[in-house]
Amino acid sequence: MINYNQADGLTSSYIYNLRQDERGFIWIGSSNGLFRFDGISFKQYGKKDGLKNVDILACETVSKDEIFIIPFLDDFAYLKGNKVINSDMNSELKKIKFGAEAPNFISDKKRGEIIIHIYTNPKNIYIYKKGKVKVIPIIIDPAKYGRVYAFDYKTDAHLLYLKDSKNRIIAYDIITRKIKVCNLIFGSEEVVTSVKDNLFTTINNKKNVVSVYLMENYYSFRKIQHYQSPENIYSSVIDNNKKLWIGLENGGALYFDQSLYTPYSLSKPVKFLEDYVINYILADHDNNLWFATRNNGLFFIGSAPFRSYITLPLKNNSSYITSISSNSKNIFLGYNTTGGGIYNSGKLTNLTFSENKKNENKAVTANEKFVYFAQTNNVFEYNLLTKKQRLINFKGTIKNLIPYGKDTILVCTSQKLFLYHINSGSYTELWDHRTYMALPYDKDSLLVGTFKDLYKFNIKTKKAKLFLEGYYFTDIKKLKDNLYAGSTNTSGIILFNKKNIVCKIDESNGLSNNQVKKIMIESENIFWASTESGLIRVQLTGNKPIINKFTITDGLPSDNVAGVVIKGDSIFVGTSGGLGIFSIKHLLTQQKYINKKVIVNSVVTDGKEYFGSYDRLHSQTPKNNITFNLSFLDYASQGKIGYKYKLEGLNTSWETTNSSKIIFSSLPPKKYIFKVYGLGYNGKQSVIYTQIPFEIKPRFWETVWFRVLVAILVLIIWAIIMGLYSQRSRNKKLKNILTEKRMAELELQAIKAQINPHFIYNCLNSIKFLLYKKENADAESYLKTFSQMIRKTLHYSEKTFMPIKEEVEYLTLYLDMEKLRLKDQFDYKITVSDDLNPEWLIPSLLIQPFVENAIKHGIPALEDRKGYITIDFAYSGTDLCVVIEDNGTGIKDKTVLTKNIDSFGVKLSQKRIHTFKQLFNTKITLEITDLSETKQKPGTQIKLFISQNENKNTGMHH
């Protein structure tokens, strides 16, 4: 039994009433406000929370998240979304007026209503629903019915039940205001004290009688049980299991362990808490019991310990048991004081061996005639037949007693190992060492344990051989041939055979504590281990043992187990809280999981606390923090609650904590799912997890649109900077280009200025040569052509570009003049491709120097054939191609033309090509080919390629 009081946070000792809501929370009406309990902490609602009166008679659950609060003096309120709403906030509550009279209240959860009325002569009935109060007058003729006492209301039939002055039950229809007298007449002193569904109880305080009535229909009642108490009765309660509790005026509560629906008379009650006055008793959803007391806080007992207590044949058993043993008839108990007990068929006989109560029992062993209790410094022998005691002294502190055959006992002490002979009462020294346990191993040897090693000891030779090193064994039992189970002080359980260790069982593979006190064999594959953390059952199957753990949540009087005795299906468990007796089959039906879910009480984020629905939960705080406040309502775990959780989206592993507040900090913006299991006593887990999805929203500077906007702004700024830089570079480059262009223009003008004298000089030399030869007619014709050439040369030298057709005319005039000068030593042909536009602009006077060079260096040297020059204007890919070809002597090196001192015109033309590229970005390529090398014929070929791209405006095609 656990007592919750001020030290636990329940800052009120006087408890009026208890309720459990749909989620499982325990609500406590007290003299100091309303409390909510989740098994670990008490949350108090008082004046600072909105209650106008902290003397809370009761509360009732209206719905999942709404609690109606019933205080003294009409200061009604309700709790919704963790907020107290009082009559100042909702004036509807002011309609409910009772004054100093205590009200009765009925909860109709299906309709979400609370029905309230006073007991004596009610004038109105009040129905609260969703913040509204409906007032229905009650009109009962006092002349006909006298003083009435209301005790129940049936919402489905809207009938109010009252006892009139004639002790009759009358049913009042609050809608039609009709009254019907029922079949039942109470005794004159009977008062209804408890109503549960179609059952109610009455108390007759003069006779100390509690009666139980059954409502067979709306107007017919029948008494089904009654109980006359030897003590004054204070209250009666029908719990959720339809079982009767009676509170006694001088303290204590009587429990009747049978359903009130059974046709049998009430059984003998079990008495609880006889030193405390009980105001109210609540059996919760899991059949745990809660006791509201007057001035002593709240008491709790779990369902399993409660059932164990009321079914245990041994009552008021709470001795601190340190050792346990048995014979064929009895169970023997050694206590932590100088005494022991003998249990047989529900009866416990206590024994006292010495006045020194500090001498605790270390071990107990027995045969059919004697029981031996090992105290700290000696052994007491108790004769089961004569009831006589005898003190046996041994050297050293007693550590253990182990039966060895029928008539001898191995006695382990701090100095020696002894063999005690029961029949003679003498003992033999076996081994001069400190020993803690021993076990018969074979015919002539024992296994003997010291505080750190296990030895094989030969009884005949008195020699010991190390068997297992490094283990402090507290007990060893033989499971079957060549297999032993040993409990150790620090290393769990060791399974070994005659050669080596077979298996270790410790905290890493299922034990709750590596300190194991005793081993008890159930079968060759099953044994029980006693620890300070509960009782362990180990079943050896395959490679991995099956381990079951049993603790106070399963009904053990205490987790500190000294040892067990097995008799058939019954297991007797000696604990620091007394003796527990259980059915092994019943123990094994325990649930492996807790059939509950974790409750999220609230979520704190953005500096706000949210209650109830978390469907659209999101956070956007500077630190991206979120806090989950949790409860796991497994009251049987007695506050030993933990949580196993993970945050999907952040990690994949599960974490455990004992804190009910789980905080996540500095979460990156994204969507998450918080999942959490509840962990009860001994690590038992909830069957399913609770999950809460939520989202950490990015702050505006973390959003995609902001980042895109920043990226765009950066790009714009970068583009502006690069644009300014590029503009500056372009301006600088343009300035340089303009300078270079101006220089190139001047250079072009200079080149043109050089071309004109060069051409005139060549022509005058030709005229001079004709006059020298006195070829006057040719000279005259040449002069005529020369004058035309001079005019055209002067005309085109002023222009940068000229059309192809004019270039052809100019070349024709020049070739005719040269042909005249050389007396028809060559012929020529100029061809313009049909797919070329004759208006195509080409650099002026560019081609003539190459034609002149072909005549000058290719034709005069011919002796065996007449010279022939062709000029073709054609389209090559996207370029204009001008081909000048002669059948002269050719060249051995294409650089000859450019290196010859007489090729001044060609040099000027090459400079013009370079200058045109600078000025107009006109791409002109020059190729010179010796035809004798490529086409095996005499002559030289010159190709000029002019790119179309730089002359879009001229057009190349027709």
CA distances from 477 to 244, 533, 551, 917 (A): 47, 21, 23, 109
Residues 6+ apart with CB under 8 A from 244: 201, 210, 212, 225, 227, 236, 237, 238, 255, 256, 260, 266
In the prediction, which pLDDT does 297 show?
A: 95
Length of the chain in residues, anyone?
958
Residues 6+ apart with CB under 8 A from 45: 33, 34, 35, 36, 51, 69, 79, 84
CATH number of the domain located at residue range(s) 706-951 in this protein = 3.30.565.10
β strands within 205-274, DSSP E? 209-217, 220-228, 233-238, 244-248, 253-255, 270-272
How far is Cα 140 from Cα 782, in angstroms, rounded to an integer? Answer: 154
Residues 6+ apart with CB under 8 A from 37: 4, 10, 25, 26, 27, 28, 43, 298
In the prediction, which pLDDT does 301 show?
A: 94
Of 25, 44, 18, 43, residue with least CA distance to 33: 44
How far is Cα 105 from Cα 94, in angstroms, rounded to an integer? Answer: 17
Tell me the average confidence (pLDDT) per consecutive run of 10 residues in the chain, 958 residues long. Answer: 93 94 95 96 95 94 90 92 93 91 88 93 95 96 95 94 96 96 93 94 94 96 94 93 94 94 91 93 94 95 88 77 95 92 91 79 95 91 94 91 93 95 93 94 94 94 94 95 94 94 91 94 96 94 87 90 96 94 90 89 85 66 81 93 94 93 89 94 90 82 79 90 83 71 56 56 74 76 80 80 90 87 87 90 85 84 86 88 89 49 62 75 85 82 78 38
The DSSP string of 160-222 is EEEE-TTSEEEEEETTT--EEEEEEE--TTEEEEEEETTEEEEEETTTTEEEEEEEEETTEEE
Q: Which fold has domain 599-699?
A: Immunoglobulin-like (2.60.40)
How far is Cα 449 from Cα 840, in angstroms, rounded to an integer? Answer: 118
Between the CA atoms of 535, 541, 545 and 547, what dihedral angle is there, to the nearest 10 degrees?
-30
How far is Cα 415 from Cα 605, in angstroms, rounded to an integer? Answer: 66
Tokens of 737: 């280009």
Q: What 3-state DSSP class applies to 529? A: strand
Q: What 3-state DSSP class applies to 786? A: helix
How far is Cα 424 from Cα 421, in angstroms, rounded to an integer? Answer: 6
pTM score of the predicted model: 0.71
Of 543, 513, 464, 58, residue with least CA distance to 279: 58
CATH class of 8-238: mainly beta
Residues of the chain with CATH 3.30.565.10: 706-951
Residues of the chain with CATH 2.60.40.10: 599-699
CA-atom Rg of the chain in angstroms: 58
How far is Cα 6 from Cα 642, in angstroms, rounded to an integer? Answer: 23
In the prediction, which pLDDT does 955 show?
A: 36
- Main-chain phi, psi angles of 607, to 5 degrees: 75, 10
In the prediction, which pLDDT does 900 show?
A: 45
Of 716, 710, 671, residue with least CA distance to 692: 671
